[in-house]
Amino acid sequence: MLKNLRFPFLVCIGFFYFPLFGQKFISSNLPIIIIDTHGREILDDPKISADMGIIDNGAGSVNHVTDSYNNFSGKIGIEIRGSSSQSFPKKQYGIEVQDASGNGKDVSLLGMPKKDDWILFAAYDDKSLMRDALAYKLGRAQGRYASRSRYCEVILNGQYQGVYVLLEKIKRDKNRVNIAKLDPTSTTGDIMTGGYIIKLDKATGSGGDGWASTYPPLHRLSNQTIYFLYDYPKQEDIISEQKKIY
């Protein structure tokens, strides 16, 4: 039945596709994530409080929006994620599962190991919806850590948003990036040499402090440099002695 389709039904005229709107999303073979912000607008920063429920009846079963929240039900903090992708009509979100006091709470979502921080990845500019999830799967198959993922459907404030990928956020954790913990007292010896996460990213996200590589990109553009950002320890936590190892 059309009303059960995961994607809008399309009519092809020449090389153009037009969605036949009006079909109501009621079920899927993918897990369904339902988020309610109670009328509050989701911001780039800070996270706002919301309620989230997840319906997952298991492999081979159909999930209905009217089913009970049998995988997760609770409070979250949610914000818009990304930089240039924030201009896309399909937004992606950063999520922190929270307890009643608003503190992070480690939980397992859709069978993935417990942690508080997660990503709802929209993959708007990848019409296959597969590139990132496939690359991460291939990375894990080689024995390296890469974010685990589960495809899902998302409903936000009663409006169907489409197919998303629930991803683990990259964090220091025994089930994610399993590296040593650093604190401000870790300033000498072997303990100072391990336990860092460095990223190549736009400075508009988390962090911003770091250092420029002395090596230019292979295909250098005008005034382009490679800039490494501190991710763990966080910019506000890393101390000068730890920065010197770079």
Q: Is residue 58 part of a domain?
A: yes
Residue 121, domain member (yes or no): yes
> How far, in whole angstroms, is CA 36 from its chain's centroid?
18
Joined together, the tokens standing for residue 132 give 């990132």
Q: Is residue 85 part of a domain?
A: yes
In 3D space, the residue among 169, 159, 163 whose CA is nearest the CA of residue 35 turns out to be: 159
Residue 136 phi, psi (nearest 5): -65, -40
pLDDT band at 207 (very low <50, low <70, confident <90, very high): low
Is there a single domain that holds both residue 14 and residue 120? Answer: yes
Report the pLDDT averaged over residues 39-59.
Answer: 96
Q: How many helices (H) and strands (E) would you count in the chain?
A: 2, 14
Say whether pLDDT at 17 is over 60: no
Quote the number of domains for the chain: 2
CA dist list (Å): 49 to 32, 57, 151, 156: 20, 26, 24, 13
CA 175/CA 62 separation, integer angstroms: 29
- One domain, residues 212 and 142: no
Domain closes at, from 117, 133, 168: 168
DSSP character for 121?
Answer: E
User: Any idea how long the chain is?
Assistant: 246
In a domain? residue 101 = yes
Q: Work out the average pLDDT over 218-236.
A: 80
161 and 215: one domain? no
Cα separation values, 199 from 13, 212, 233, 239, Å: 44, 12, 12, 17
Q: Quick one: pLDDT band at residue 152, thresholds 50, 70, 90?
A: very high
Q: Are 125 and 229 in the same domain?
A: no
Q: Which domain holds residue 235?
A: 190-243
Pair (216, 104) in one structural domain: no
